[in-house]
A = this chain, B = another copy of it.
Amino acid sequence: MSFNTFGHLFRVTTWGESHGPALGATVDGCPPGIPLTEADIQPWLDRRKPGQNRFTTQRREADEVEILSGVYEGRTTGTPIQLMIRNTDQRSKDYGTIAQTFRPGHADITYWQKYGIRDPRGGGRSSARETAARVAAGGVARQVLAALMPGLRITGYMVQMGPRAIDRARFDAAAIEGNPFWCPDPATADLWADDLDALRKTGNSVGATVEVVASGLPAGIGAPLYAKLDSELAAAMMSINAVKGVEIGAGMGAAALTGVENADEIRMGNDGPVYGSNHAGGILGGISTGQDVVVRFAVKPTSSILTPRQSVTLDGQPAEVVTKGRHDPCVGIRAVPVGEAMMALVILDQLLLHRAQVGEGPRGRIG
């Protein structure tokens, strides 16, 4: 079955292929009266857009979003919002030979094995291009969140590329927008630039780790047990192309901790409980604690590389595959705005679920 809808109440259905006429997102369940124009969404798409520096694919897409429904005189009406992005730079010929072979590490082969048919142009539906629709929908979610939860801030950045991680001691949020890697540690960003130049010359690619943080989310948001805030975030991030792991707070490292180490001790602050640490990543029992919500995910290296890899053809013959198109050497870079968009979608959906069951805002007071 294909299941192209994300969210329980703020429901986003993305549609479209890499090289079809258009792609987009149908957004249902949006609260009414929210200010929304194309200009509110476009900046988020521009952040994700390819071809902005030498470290992302040189494919040129305008990625201009059109709102086709659900907005009247600049405000949402509560009816479905259709967001359409036309595909403009489709060099299908780049993919001619790909139609008969399968790139190792790519979804070419499994789409074929599942459906018995696939759109080979640019990876079709499995193309990372689909994430443009997520980012557009995330832009709508951000407008709603700005109205309903004005203190919320969502920030994504890269913390590792290949074997090289940032130095947390040098963490500088202000630096994130200042380099092509959304890196909060400029010294590491410089090293990554060298690393990536070297890799590109050898026709290779590399993985990365992205961290997304939401600050200002009040305590009490989350829908236990099977739509827990962390469970939804895990599903959201793992649904992004090429992601192979998701962590909340201490993440996989929690396995190495003792209970004494892991306990985030609590004391009273002026506005409620304050925590001495955040191993929990802002989530306990699937519900927000009021601390920063911290999610990390690992993006595998692009499978479309210039180095020949052994594979098979549709006919079952051996083949050496070299992918010549214009591909990202580190697709993790462009996953940063996508991770932010998914965080926005999850939080808004959870907020609406909370409003439905509990009413406005969290409930149990402490102190």
Contacts and interface: CB of A to CB of B under 8 A. Distances in A.
Contacts of A367: 312, 315-317
Contact of A285 (B22, B107, B250): B107
A6 interface: yes
A162 to B, nearest CB: 6
A344 to B, nearest CB: 15
Nearest to A230: B238
Counted per complex, copies of this chain come to 4
Nearest to A23: B69
B111 A301 contact: no
B77 A125 contact: yes
Interface in A326-356: 332, 352-356
A119 B72 CA distance: 6
Given A250-B300, A255-B299, A256-B163, A223 B1 contact: yes
A104 interface: yes
Interface residues of A, number: 164
Contacts of A310: 265-267, 276
Contacts of A104: 263-266
Contact of A110 (B24, B207, B236, B288): B288
Nearest to A205: B259
A54 interface: no
A314 B366 contact: yes
Contacts of A315: 366-367
A245 B251 contact: yes
21 contacts: A1-B357, A2-B79, A31-B358, A31-B359, A32-B115, A32-B358, A77-B117, A105-B264, A107-B285, A115-B363, A116-B364, A160-B256, A162-B257, A234-B234, A238-B248, A257-B301, A266-B310, A267-B310, A312-B366, A315-B367, A316-B367
Given A1-B356, A102-B266, A115-B363, 15 more contacts: A2-B357, A9-B353, A15-B82, A22-B69, A32-B115, A77-B119, A104-B265, A105-B262, A114-B354, A207-B254, A234-B238, A234-B246, A247-B298, A262-B301, A263-B305
**5 tightest Cβ-Cβ pairs between the two chains A and B:** A316-B367, A107-B285, A1-B353, A116-B363, A205-B259
